[in-house]
């Protein structure tokens, strides 16, 4: 199915509109927070990294648990309730002046998002035909990258001119608009064959259902591979993502506006990469696309560390986004195609947990390594890691191809 055909589906269209609106608000608020910590509070690399850690840690820890309840609860109230709760939490940023307060608000937002993200994935899987999933996932990622182009640059300009409060207000309003869009359509989960879902909230039942999702991923070879590859890519990105602000300040000798533009080029790269992935998917396997993306991430990290100039930084972050497009869309599409409806919430939330944990590990290491070795050395290390993982993945694919050949 084409993009236009997918957007003719009413539920998909409203969910996509809601994604665009809420993501725009999220990027404005998040980059406003990072700009404040980096350029107003003169935060250290570890403190800037702490902003990302505070948001990602609950997503990494609560993912499998949230998926259990997403598979039990009705989708529409889960999505709307998550939006409205997050709107109220964003309002707390207006009165947050200390770092620990900012960390606490971001952690609370993340806890609620751990329920919204898998519910959204289940909604797409339930209302988009199988042949439209790659276009649907590409549309969702293009929405994310489109607002990423606008968000950082807009946040840098708005914070510099008016302060961060405007960004926080837009974010709160975006969640309310998203809830209204989702509330305007009927979202129905299709019936699942087999046994009825558990209704008890006992610890044993919840742990058993969490285990079902993890076992499905572990025993599904193709799904396990793309999950690990996506986690590896996000681990590499996580090692330097929040350090870009410090890199702009200390090596490019620029201000918040340049930080926003450099960060936005990741979105530009992904926006150009998504249509390319759709074309290549007809001729290349998911594994080849993912490995190519990993290699490209290494190239972008090398450029960022080797050439401390604004033009080179723009090219490097564009390369990172373009390469990551080859990882995220094939991985998400395979997950939705191969997962039964009854397990969709648990699988998507467990995958989310794995990749956020990998990115979180990269964030933690980046703060420590940047203090010891310097920001540019971390970028070089990321390039080496990406290429080593690419080589290992290539060997794994070759071994599986040989094993699959008839005797």
Stretch 171-189: mean pLDDT: 89
Q: Check residue 126 and give left, alpha or beta (phi > 0: left; psi -120 to 50: alpha).
A: alpha
Other C-beta atoms closer than 10 Å to the C-beta of 204 total 9
- pLDDT-wise least confident of 50-54, 133-137, 241-245, 349-353: 241-245
pLDDT for position 397: 64
pLDDT for 402 equals: 58
Q: What is the pLDDT of residue 372?
A: 83
* Average pLDDT for 287-300: 84
DSSP string across 322-365: HHHHHHHHHHHHHHHHHS-GGGHHHHHHHHHHHHHHHHHHHHHH
**Apex CA 369: angle with CA 367 and CA 375, to 5°?**
80
- What does the alpha-carbon distance between residue 358 and residue 378 come to, in Å, rounded to a whole number? 16
Does the pLDDT value for residue 180 go beyond 90? yes
Q: Is residue 63 a contact partner of residue 115, using CB atoms and an 8 Å limit?
A: no
Between 111 and 308, the more confident residue is: 111
Question: How far is Cα of residue 395 from the mean position of the Cα atoms in its chain?
Answer: 27
Mean pLDDT within 105-121: 88
- Res. 403 pLDDT band, cuts 50 70 90: low
Average pLDDT over all residues of the chain = 80
Residue 3 is predicted with a pLDDT of 82
Average pLDDT over residues 101-121: 88
Q: How far apart are CA 246 and CA 234, in angstroms?
A: 20
Which of the two residues, 201 and 163, has the higher pLDDT score?
163
Contact by Cβ (8 Å): 316, 300: yes
110 or 195, which is more confident: 110
Other Cβ atoms within 10 Å of 228 Cβ, number: 19
| Most confident listed range (58-72, 323-337, 388-402) | 58-72
List the domain boundaries for the chain. Answer: 3-185+206-404
Can you read off the two tokens belonging to residue 390?
């690419």
CA distance 102 to 96: 6
Provide the CB-side half-sphere exposure for 377 (13 A, CA).
Answer: 9
pLDDT at 12 over 80: yes
The DSSP secondary structure of 15-83, one letter per residue, reads HHHHHHHHHHHHHHHHHHHHHIIIIIS---HHHHHHHHHHHHHHHHHHHHHHHHHHHHS-HHHHHHHHH
List the CATH code of the domain at 3-185+206-404. Answer: 1.20.1250.20
How many Å apart are CA 47 and CA 402, to the nearest integer?
A: 48
pLDDT of 404 over the 60 cut: no
Q: What DSSP string runs through 86-120?
A: HHHHHGGGGG--SHHHHHHHHHHHHHHHHHHHHHH
- Confidence label for 400 from pLDDT (cuts 50, 70 and 90): low
Average pLDDT over residues 246-264: 78
pLDDT band at 192 (very low <50, low <70, confident <90, very high): low
- Residue of 139 and 163 predicted with greater confidence: 139
Residue-level pLDDT at 201: 61
Radius of gyration for the alpha carbons in the chain, expressed in angstroms and rounded? 20
Question: Is pLDDT of 190 > 70?
Answer: yes
pLDDT over 90 (residue 320): no
Query: What percent of the chain is predicted at pLDDT more than 90?
Result: 6
What is the mean pLDDT of the segment spanning 364-378? 79
Encode pLDDT of 68-89 as tens digits: 888 888 889 999 999 999 999 9
Most confident of 12-16, 232-236, 281-285: 12-16
């Amino acid at each position: 199915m084409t993009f236009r055909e997918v957007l003719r589906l009413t539920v998909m269209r409203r969910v996509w509109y809601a994604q665009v609106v809420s993501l725009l608000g999220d990027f404005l608020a998040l980059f406003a927070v990072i700009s404040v910590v980096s350029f107003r509070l003169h935060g250290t690399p570890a403190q800037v990294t702490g902003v990302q850690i505070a948001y990602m840690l609950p997503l990494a820890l609560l993912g499998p648990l949230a998926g259990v309840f997403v598979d039990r609860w009705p989708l529409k109230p889960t999505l709307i309730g998550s939006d409205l709760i997050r709107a109220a939490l964003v309002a707390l940023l207006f009165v947050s002046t200390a770092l620990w307060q900012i960390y606490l608000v971001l952690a609370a937002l993340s806890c609620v998002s751990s329920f919204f993200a898998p519910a959204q994935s289940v909604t797409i899987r339930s209302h988009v035909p199988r042949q439209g999933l790659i276009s649907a996932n590409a549309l969702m990622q293009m929405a994310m990258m489109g607002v990423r182009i606008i968000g950082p640059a807009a946040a840098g300009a708005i914070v510099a001119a008016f302060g961060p409060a405007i960004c926080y207000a837009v974010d709160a309003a975006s969640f309310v608009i998203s809830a209204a869009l989702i509330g305007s359509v009927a979202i129905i989960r299709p019936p699942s064959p087999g046994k009825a879902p558990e209704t008890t909230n006992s610890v044993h039942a919840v742990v058993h259902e969490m285990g079902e999702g993890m076992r499905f991923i572990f025993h599904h070879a193709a799904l396990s591979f793309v999950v690990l590859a996506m986690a590896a890519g996000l681990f590499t990105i996580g090692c330097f993502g929040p350090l870009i602000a410090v890199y702009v300040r200390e090596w490019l000798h620029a201000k918040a506006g340049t930080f926003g533009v450099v960060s936005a080029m990741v979105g530009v790269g992904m926006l150009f990469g998504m249509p390319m992935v759709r074309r290549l998917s007809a001729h290349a396997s998911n594994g080849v696309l993912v490995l190519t993306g990993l290699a490209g991430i290494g190239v972008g990290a090398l450029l960022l560390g080797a050439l401390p100039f604004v033009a080179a930084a723009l090219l490097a972050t564009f390369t990172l986004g373009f390469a990551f497009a080859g990882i995220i869309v094939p991985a998400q599409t395979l997950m939705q195609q191969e997962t039964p409806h009854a397990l969709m919430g648990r699988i998507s939330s467990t995958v989310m947990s794995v990749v956020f944990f990998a990115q979180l590990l990269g964030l933690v290491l980046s703060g420590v390594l940047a203090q010891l070795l310097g920001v540019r050395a971390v970028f070089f290390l990321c390039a080496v890691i990406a290429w080593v993982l690419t080589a290992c993945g290539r060997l794994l694919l070759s071994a599986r191809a040989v094993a699959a050949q008839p005797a």
